[in-house]
Amino acid sequence: MKKSFLYTGFAYFAVGVLFLLLAIGGIEERLNALFCGFAGAGIFPGLQMMYRYFYWNRPENRQRYAEKVEMEKIESHDERNVILRGRAAQYTLVWILCILAISIVLLSILGKLEMIAFAKPLILYLSVLLLLIFVLFQVVYQKLKQS
Amino acid sequence: MENRVEFLRKQRNLSQEEFAKAIRVSRQTVSAIENGKYNPSLELAFTISDFFGEPIEKIFLHQRGGSK
């Protein structure tokens, strides 16, 4: 396993500890919950990465690690998996667009009936998001077509 | 498109996993090819052809004008 994995793990751990200190220090109490979340998200994955580095670099595990990496490489480059990933992304995109469009309509109705406050900014946000996703899809699609 | 991949693999006493490893694809892809659920790319078809040492047209049997 590459040494960069250990360094990345250590960086995660260090940033996590930094956020933990910020949370304990109580600089801004309203942000404590957020700092604790960042601390957890840094410390535990960091420790896991460092443990994995030492575990897979043991002489008895090196061969198994090489096989694991090889299998991962095959799985990620497998042509059928690549096609399926593309199809999954395509279906997900259609679902996201439908969910956003339905949400906009529902929010408009609820807003008009004065059943929810702040409907307008929400509708505006979702509309921009919907448009952005659609435009981004077209841009990426055209770029891929030309490449 | 029909193919003789399963027959040729079994003839060489290879498991799907061993064959998949040799041609650098996942075992599921080999299974899908053998069951006719997936037609490999031209590149993969040539890799399979090279592996078995048989011409591509003797492994993948395409009927012209037939349905996909």
Contacts of A80 in chain B (CB under 8 A): 25-26, 28-29, 32, 38
- Please count the structural domains in chain B: 1
Maximum pairwise Cα distance, chain B: 35
In a domain, B30, yes or no: yes
Q: Token pair for residue B64?
A: 């012209």
A78 and B25 in contact by Cβ < 8 A? yes
Interval A5-64: pLDDT, tens: 999 999 999 999 999 999 888 777 788 889 999 999 999 999 999 999 999 999 999 899
Interface confidence (ipTM) of the complex: 0.85
Interval A65-84: pLDDT, tens: 999 999 999 999 999 999 99
Q: Give the nearest partner residue to A74 out of B24, B38, B44, using CB atoms.
A: B24
pLDDT higher than threshold 70 for residue B67: no
In a domain, B67, yes or no: no
Is residue A27 classed as helix, strand or coil in its secondary structure? coil
In a domain, B66, yes or no: no
Query: Residue B9 belongs to a domain with what CATH number?
Result: 1.10.260.40
Domain boundaries, chain A: 3-77, 79-146
In a domain, B9, yes or no: yes
Range of the domain at B19: 2-61
